[in-house]
Amino acid sequence: MFHKNIKLILAGLISVWAVYQFTLGNIMNGVSILLLAGLFILFYFKNEFILLAFLQLRKQNFAGTKKWLDYIKNPEAALIVKQQGYFNYLHGIMLSQTNMTQAEKYLRKAVKLGLAMDHDLAMAKLQLAGISMTKRRKREATILMAEAKKLDKHGMLKEQMQQMKQQMKKI
């Protein structure tokens, strides 16, 4: 929607407007306007298009996910570093269904940029382990599996890891 710096400028201007409302004695207007400024600050840290793409991915709607991600034209300029990681993570997950080489590129970039949640990072490393396994790189796959296991603190990916270990024994 807006460039990341424009969001901060708008939040600052709206906060000044809220202070002006407070000085006039319009306390409720000032509070409401501060909430509006908070919305811009929220969207600075959590990009609205990435949030909408995650909602579509949750519904298994890959076309909808791609549509929302395509709205982000220049991710390096429009997103902060963690958001760039999630941008690449979403692209990697979508492409893992069709193009393994491109998916590996996006997932490696997402891991390098960093993801905020440990279970997302574990999922990315597990996807990379699966791609490595299909390319007959067993050593790299086992290293990535071990890293994913350390990151998966709640055991959400335990079943997928067991299936992958069974498939790795066949290689």
Global pTM reads 0.82
Q: How far is CA 6 from CA 3, 16, 25, 95, in A?
A: 5, 15, 29, 31
Whether 35 and 108 share a structural domain: no
Q: Are 81 and 112 in contact (CB under 8 A)?
A: no
Mean pLDDT of 86-104: 90
pLDDT of residue 109: 94
Domain match, 28 and 86 both: no
5 lies in the same domain as 68? no
pLDDT by residue (tens digit) across 48-73?
Answer: 899 999 999 999 898 999 999 999 98
pLDDT tens digit sequence for 123-156: 999 999 989 888 888 889 889 888 888 888 888 8
Say if residue 170's pLDDT is above 80: no
Same domain membership, residue 129 and residue 51: yes
The number of folded domains in the chain is 2
Supply the range of the domain harboring residue 34. 1-45
Average pLDDT over residues 112-117: 89
Report helix angle 118-134 to 100-113, nearest 10. Answer: 150
Q: Residue 69 burial (CB < 10 Å; 0-12/13-18/19+)?
A: buried
State in Å, rounded, how far the first CA of the chain is from the last one.
47
Are 94 and 69 found together in one domain? Answer: yes
CA distance 147 to 83: 22
Q: Which amino acid is at 34?
A: L
Residues 23 and 58 in one domain: no
Compute, in degrees rounded to 10, the torsion defined by CA atoms 55, 61, 63, 69: 20
pLDDT at 1: 59
